[in-house]
Chain A
Amino acid sequence: MSSCGCGSLTQVQPAAPATLSTRITWRDVLGGWRVRWGIGRMSYRIAPGLYRIGQPDSKSPVLVTANYKLTVDAVRRELTGLNVWLLVLDTNGVNVWCAAGKGTFGSAELVRRVEATGLARVVEHRRLVLPQLGAVGVAAHEVKRATGFSVSYGPVRARDIPAYLAAGMRATPEMRRVSFGWKERMVLAPMELVPAWKPALGILAALVALDLVRHRELTPHLAADIVRFFGAILTGGVLVPLLLPWLPSRAFSVKGAVAGALWAAAAAWWLPTGAVEAAGAALLIMAITSYMALNFTGTTTFTTNAGARLEVRRSLAPILVAAGVGAILRVAAAFV
């Protein structure tokens, strides 16, 4: 670029960075709740680019994040009273860790965004602070080579950013560890329940049909089946995540089956039936809870790809057999 600042005609002059508030409104809270239930989750995003938090100057730190609005909200909420730049990458509205796994929160997008925003002219220093979980997609040494900016990986959680900055960009070991406490497991439970809705309608229709074919009217048998079934969904989608550390075995399918067996026992005690019906219901319940628990692997913070492959290979057949035998027993119990 020439010294007169006129540059080339093809280069788009970056717009002046907009200011982001650190206040979370009820609208943000409602929006976060909606996307947890899967409503409009993939269009919950903000425009990528450079934003101001407070009144940053050329010496202020530059924090980098993803353009999922839930992520941006989690970050800006923690920055109250700070003056920093926020560089938002285009991750197609996906959170930092998942986007880093896909490579959209990656070296190429970071280099592109640093250049597109003219960051080198906005700040005098040459340092970017990335969320630690972004490291899955970003190679710090490549970004340095391409842009001159060195990358510091900040804390895993946004709430540790003020302490990290105050300590001169030094993270404690605690800030670097990813946690998965019960609150973190529960906030994701709706995402386990939502995919269950469609198959649930099919199973509900089958239960109604069974009752109508057998008794020519709706009977208490149907009510018992519905209680057992929704109990199974809640066991797989809520109870398994909640009790995850205490359920036996490392295999999620086994954890799910154990939780399912507990619910089947409780249901059999609460809704006494014949042995065949109880056995059929128990097998169906365990198939549902085991499969839902298996799918929870992707939500956790410690599963490996090789392990999940092995578990899918070993558990899918037993789950399908349990579901098949359970269905046969449940139908047989109605007619014997």
Chain B
Amino acid sequence: MQYILNGHSLVLDPALCNGCGRCEEVCPHAVFSIVNRKALIARRGNCMECGACRMNCPPGAIQVSSGVGCAAAIIAGMRNKNAGCADACNCG
């Protein structure tokens, strides 16, 4: 299934990529493929922008604006500026 704006903010700089393959390993939606020792965004529309790839990219070749895709958290944040994910799910 796909949502709205999937993979919109995902940017990969091939010049910085060292082909280690971590992004392909950590992506839960198989967005990346490794072709000729370089990462490639093969299925952008599957990307939920969780940020695991950016977090685990040693040379910092990946940028993505990550966050939780949760309307309840966003509405909680609209009602109270300091509220967020934890308040919506009541999980500290």
Q: B residues bordering A, Cβ < 8 Å?
A: 1-9, 22, 25-30, 46-52, 55-56, 58, 65-75, 78, 85-86, 88-92
| Inter-chain contacts of B65 with A (CB < 8 A) | 305-306
CA distance A173 to B27 in the complex (A): 10
Closest-by-CB residue of B relative to A306 is: B5
On whether the beta carbons of B52 and A303 are closer than 8 Å, the reply is no
* Among A100, A251, A302, contact of B1 (Cβ-Cβ < 8 Å): A302
Residues of B within 8 A of A133 (CB): 28, 52
A135–B55 touching, CB < 8 Å: yes
How many A-B pairs fall under 8 Å by CB? 148
CA distance A294 to B69 in the complex (A): 11
Interchain CA distance A171-B27 in the complex, whole Å: 13
Q: Is the Cβ of A309 less than 8 Å from the Cβ of B74?
A: yes
Q: Whole-angstrom distance from the CB of B69 to the nearest CB of chain A?
A: 3
Residues on B with beta carbons closer than 8 Å to the beta carbon of A156? 28
Prevailing SS type, chain B contact patch: loop
Task: Determine if B90 and A137 form an interchain contact, defined as CB atoms under 8 angstroms apart.
Answer: no
Residues of A within 8 A of B69 (CB): 297-298, 300, 302-305, 307-308
A250: CB under 8 A from chain B? yes
The residue on B at minimum CB distance from A299 is B70
Main SS at interface, chain A: helix
Set of chain B residues within 8 Å of A250, measured between Cβ atoms = 2-4
Determine how close the nearest CB of chain B comes to the CB of A206; give it in whole angstroms: 22
Interface segment, one of A214-222, A273-281, A310-318: A310-318
A303 and B3 within 8 A (CB): yes
Residue from the list A94, A176, A302, A312 in contact with B6, Cβ < 8 A: A302
Q: Are A301 and B48 in contact (CB under 8 A)?
A: yes
How far apart sit A140 and B47, CA to CA, in the bound complex (Å)? 21
User: Which are the 9 A-B pairs with shortest beta-carbon distances?
Assistant: A298-B70, A303-B69, A305-B67, A307-B4, A135-B26, A135-B52, A178-B28, A307-B5, A141-B58
Smallest CB separation, A105 vs chain B (Å): 12
Residue of A nearest to B10 (CB): A304
Partner of B89, one of A140, A297, A298: A298
Contact A135 B56 (CB under 8 A): yes
B68–A173 touching, CB < 8 Å: no
